[in-house]
A and B are shown apart, each in its own frame.
Chain A
């Protein structure tokens, strides 16, 4: 046996409300190495690293730091043990300066502070670590990549010897990613260790010494990065094929939803969609496979007329969709189960009945005359939605936000299925649902398909996409990598495409 490992996990398990997130996972991080955690969404990467960071406590198993068994009950325990985590969403105070952020909440910050001494201390720290950001700059003035450096510096300033980077490249540009990799290599050469969490195959191969692949909360394998191929990793990540349960139909319908060369920017003004061409025909489900955050949200918003395109056009039934004409799009029969059901899909503080009519209250004669609400009609309509979707709620008068997430999802899914005469956009429609509820939502989507609706299914669950879809489009960084028939699907290839690999068919 050589020197002790920086971190060692022995048979760590963790369940959330009966769902197993980690199942007897072993993991070793040596000093001076980058050890990647690779897996699809929900594979357990973040849960495992949160156990190391003291955010979750393992239900079973043991964690050793530098050879000694530790009980990490809080982030403070982990920091004391020399483990620091850089989260996907930065925890910086935007109006304050870099120097102030580096000193915020640190026990070593002098009680009496002045800007000059904070700046001096920050510069000393940066020289020590070899990572530089202007200490007098305010956080909001920095680029995302620079903000990430501040996060890393802040963690290292607390004496972290192990750095956990959770999807660090998700928010970075290509140049910033390359810079980050330089920083990471520099840190491990100085003797520190880095846990690198990602689902991007190329990046993992590029930066890691070793790779552990997780799937469904279990460790699939641990191997050296040297000699590994993206194709092999993709297969390990996505697993074996499941049996197909959905009856497919011959697709012969007319094109209903067409995207021609659509480009758009996201909420921060950065390019999110690049020249997307996509057609969904009547009576067809097209699955949009991809890791979350690769432009799926923007794509749905563009179709829904909630986000303008920077170029290209969206056409529904031969008519172009005008940005901002949301109501016209709904009236045309375009339903949308949004990804963020609480933030976008419903008004949590309003009663169930108000949420049930949210997307038809102006047009359904049962519910209103346009101006005058028919209160009895609203109640009857809401009761029908609740009954059909088997939403469990005290009454339709109860506040929607009081229902469980699963019931909220059923309500939104059914409501949108009722809107969707021509097109149904379903973004992660079964996320967070138990098996039976998920199956019900799936069958309501299939019902729409059978009724001639054009369905675009957005999901990061590859099994679901393959099971439900007639054709599969893969999206990566806002580009459609390829569109394939579900009958000829090669899951390994899909996995590679989702990870950004160009693969010839």
Chain B
């Protein structure tokens, strides 16, 4: 009797991993389509409208890109931490605090626009780093789970922004009651576009730089070794604790810078308590699905942004927001399943030649349990 068995493989190569994710997404579109069809809608029409909204014209492409930037910034930040097997769930909070710090500079400092914007960027990155400082130290020196600490600080950041918008930096003259004052400076427009600024370049620059760092420098190598086995990294003389702190501060800084980029787009310039549309959450999903691969993050970030933008347009055409969220969920689940599937392959199992007990195989030494780790 021949049987088939799922076998876990340790090294899914990049190509089959990408194919599995795409296949998962395609499958998810099919499932979502069937569900839409059952509810009496025409799925092909909806998907076509969505696709047309995203790539059917310049405003669609620019609208998608505009929404991709904050997602990409938080996704790059999270991907960096994931390389070290650190889960920074708090990129949303770092993003908000970065934006808030940039806002503080923007409304209080006068000077040449480029210089103020530069200071805003630096201060935003520092604020994002500061926001993750305590979780970083706690994780590195006392093994406090960073998932919880970084997550909880998100809620603090949201309240801090609300306080600013209602209180200390409130714009008294504004018709909107919950809004801060406006920053008079905006980033330069990207030549040849209507809505985009040079902010678009930043996540690309970061992703390609980090891609190179991890491919060609000992710094990236060390971070990957810490992520793989911190004890082996310590055995190689790497100061694991310090690296954890530094990398976490950098990821916080990137997310904080993302906040400044969002704030400095024409038309934004002020903060309300809804300043971040959970960009950190989207960025986290992108980074997790890309498995910490920086170029994969770019592709995934644009994919999610295009889903969001298509959803926005479809809403104006009368499709319920709940259905749109349902479709998002199905598609992301499909990609996640593809990611898991890539780690397995089907193998044929030949029947066992004799009545050998199953536990005989795994032990290289006759008495594995006699070693006494002190």
Given A16-B360, A349-B229, A401-B10, A326:B235 Cβ within 8 A: yes
B173 interface residue, CB < 8 Å from A?
no
Is A470 engaged at the interface, CB distance under 8 Å to the other chain? no
Known A266-B374, A344-B231, A359-B236: A371·B217 in contact at CB below 8 Å: yes
B224 within 8 A of A: yes
Per a CB cutoff under 8 Å, which of B237, B367, B373 touches A326? B237
Cα–Cα, bound, A344→B233 (Å): 8
**Chain B residues with CB below 8 A from A8, complex form:** none
CA distance A375 to B281 in the complex (A): 35
Q: Bound state CA distance, A88 and B232, in angstroms? A: 26
Question: Inside 8 A of B367's CB, which chain A residues have their CB?
Answer: 21, 41-47
| Nearest B-chain residue to A375, judged by Cβ | B216
Query: With A57-B357, A326-B235, A348-B229 known to touch, is A42 a contact of B374 (CB < 8 Å)?
Result: no
Q: Could you say which residues of chain A place their CB within 8 Å of the CB of B234?
A: 306, 326
* Cα–Cα, bound, A402→B8 (Å): 11
- Asked if A56 is at the interface (CB within 8 A of a chain B CB), the reply is yes
Number of interface residues of A (CB under 8 A): 75
Instruction: Check: A2 CB closer than 8 A to any chain B CB.
Output: no
**With contacts A17-B361, A292-B370, A297-B374 known, is A349 near B232, CB below 8 A?**
no
| Interface status of B366 (Cβ within 8 A of chain A) | yes
Among residues 185 to 240 in chain B, which have CB atoms less than 8 Å away from a CB atom of chain A?
215-219, 221, 224-225, 228-229, 231-237
Q: How far is the CA of A304 from the CA of B236 in the complex (A)?
A: 10
Please tell me if the beta carbons of A292 and B371 are within 8 angstroms of each other in the complex. yes
> A16-B366, A17-B364, A349-B10 given as contacts; is B372 within 8 A of A170 (CB)?
yes
Nearest CB in chain A: distance from B175 CB, A: 54
| Neighbouring A residues of B373 by C-beta, 8 Å | 293, 297, 340
Give the interface centre of B216, B361, B370 by most chain A CB atoms within 10 Å: B370
Q: Which of B236, B357, B364, B371 interacts with A358 by CB under 8 Å?
A: B236
Contact in complex: B218, A361 (CB < 8 Å) = yes
Tell me which of A57, A297, A362, A432 contacts B218 (CB under 8 A).
A362
| Chain A CB within 8 A of B365 CB | yes
A355 to chain B, nearest CB (A): 8
Q: Please, how many angstroms separate the alpha-carbon atoms of A351 and B363 in the complex?
A: 23
In the complex, chain A residues 336-355 whose Cβ is within 8 Å of any chain B Cβ = 336, 338, 340, 343-351, 354
The answer to whether B369 touches A46 (Cβ under 8 A) is yes
Among B221, B224, B359, find the residue whose CB has the most chain A CB atoms closer than 10 A: B221
In the complex, are the beta carbons of A372 and B216 less than 8 A apart?
Answer: yes
Residues in A whose Cβ lies below 8 Å from that of B233 = 347
Q: Which residues of B contact A372 (CB under 8 A)?
A: 216-218
Contacts of A89 in B (CB 8 A): 369
A39–B215 Cα distance when bound, in Å, is: 51
* Chain A positions within 8 Å of B216 at CB level: 372-373, 375
A327 contacts chain B at the CB level, 8 A cutoff: yes
Are B359 and A373 in contact, CB atoms less than 8 angstroms apart? no
Complex contacts, A401 vs chain B, CB 8 Å: 10
A495 CB–B CB distance under 8 Å: no
Q: Which chain A residues border B231 with CB–CB below 8 Å?
A: 343-344
Q: With the chains together, A406 CA to B364 CA distance in Å? A: 8
- Tell me if A429 is interfacial: C-beta within 8 Å of chain B: no
A42–B218 CB distance below 8 A:
no
B residues in contact with A329, CB < 8 Å: 237
Residues 14 to 61 of chain A near chain B (Cβ within 8 Å): 15-17, 19-21, 41-47, 50, 55-57, 59
List, in ascending order, chain A residues with CB within 8 A of B371's CB: 41, 292-293
Contact of A350 among B225, B366, B372, B374 (CB under 8 A): B225
B11 at the interface (CB under 8 A from A): yes
Q: A56-B359, A358-B225 are in contact. Are A347 and B219 (CB under 8 A)?
A: no
| A272 within 8 A of partner (CB) | yes
Residue contact B235 to A87, C-beta cutoff 8 Å: no
- Which of B10, B215, B359, B373 is packed against the most chain A CB atoms within 10 Å? B373
B232 neighbours in A (Cβ, 8 Å):
343-347, 358
CB B374 to nearest CB in A, in angstroms, measures: 5
Residue of A nearest to B214 (CB): A373
A167 at the interface (CB under 8 A from B): yes
Asked if A354 and B221 sit within 8 Å, CB to CB, the answer is yes
Which of B10, B221, B357 meets A56, CB within 8 Å? B357
Contact of A267 among B228, B359, B363, B374 (CB under 8 A): B374
Chain B residue nearest to A197 in the complex (CB): B370
Could you tell me which residues of chain A, from 386 to 404, have a CB within 8 Å of some CB in chain B? 398-399, 401-402, 404
Q: How far is the CA of A65 from the CA of B345 in the complex (A)?
A: 45
Complex Cα–Cα for A294 and B373 (A)? 9
Query: With A and B bound together, what is the CA distance between A350 and B237 in angstroms?
Result: 17
Q: Is A492 an interface residue (CB 8 A)?
A: no
| B residues less than 8 Å from A100 (CB atoms) | none
Q: How far is the CA of A504 from the CA of B374 in the complex (A)?
A: 28
Q: Is A217 interfacial (CB-CB < 8 Å)?
A: yes
Query: Complex: how many Å from CA A328 to CA B239?
Result: 12
**Smallest Cβ-Cβ distance to A19: which chain B residue:** B366
- Greatest chain A CB density within 10 A among B228, B237, B369, B371 is at B237
From B11, B217, B219, contact of A398 by CB (8 A): B11
A464 to B84, CA, bound (A): 40
A359 to B229, CA, bound (A): 14
A328 to B359, CA, bound (A): 44
Q: Give the distance to chain B from A103, nearest Cβ to Cβ, in Å.
A: 26
Chain B, Cβ-Cβ closest to A432: B364
Are A346 and B221 CB-contacts (below 8 A) given A21-B366, A46-B367, A399-B11? no
What is the CA–CA distance of A372 and B212 in the complex, to the nearest angstrom? Answer: 10
Q: Which residue of B lies closest to A216 (CB)?
A: B366
The interface residues of chain A lying within 8 Å CB-to-CB of B217 are: 371-373
A46 touches B370 (CB 8 A): yes
Residue in chain A with minimal CB distance to B357: A57
CB contacts under 8 Å to A, within B15-30, are none
Q: Is the CB of A55 within 8 A of B359?
A: yes
Is A421 part of the binding interface, using a Cβ–Cβ cutoff of 8 Å? no
Given known contacts A349-B229, A399-B11, A217 and B221 CB-to-CB distance under 8 angstroms: no
Return chain A residues, CB-CB under 8 Å to B228.
347-350
For A139, the chain B residues whose CB sits under 8 A away are: none
Contact (A17, B372) CB under 8 Å given A347-B229, A350-B225? no
Q: Which residues of B contact A398 (CB under 8 A)?
A: 11
Q: B235 to A431, Cβ gap below 8 A?
A: no
The answer to whether A151 has its CB under 8 Å from any CB of chain B is: no
**A330: interface (CB < 8 Å):** yes
A88 close to B372 (CB less than 8 A)? yes
Residues of B within 8 A of A (CB): 10-11, 215-219, 221, 224-225, 228-229, 231-237, 357, 359-361, 363-367, 369-374
Known: A358-B236, A371-B219, A373-B218. 19 other contacts (CB 8 A): A20-B366, A56-B359, A88-B369, A217-B366, A326-B234, A327-B237, A338-B235, A343-B229, A343-B231, A344-B231, A344-B235, A347-B228, A354-B221, A358-B232, A370-B218, A372-B216, A373-B217, A399-B10, A431-B365
9 contacts between A and B (CB under 8 A): A41-B371, A167-B370, A293-B374, A294-B374, A330-B236, A343-B232, A345-B232, A347-B225, A350-B225
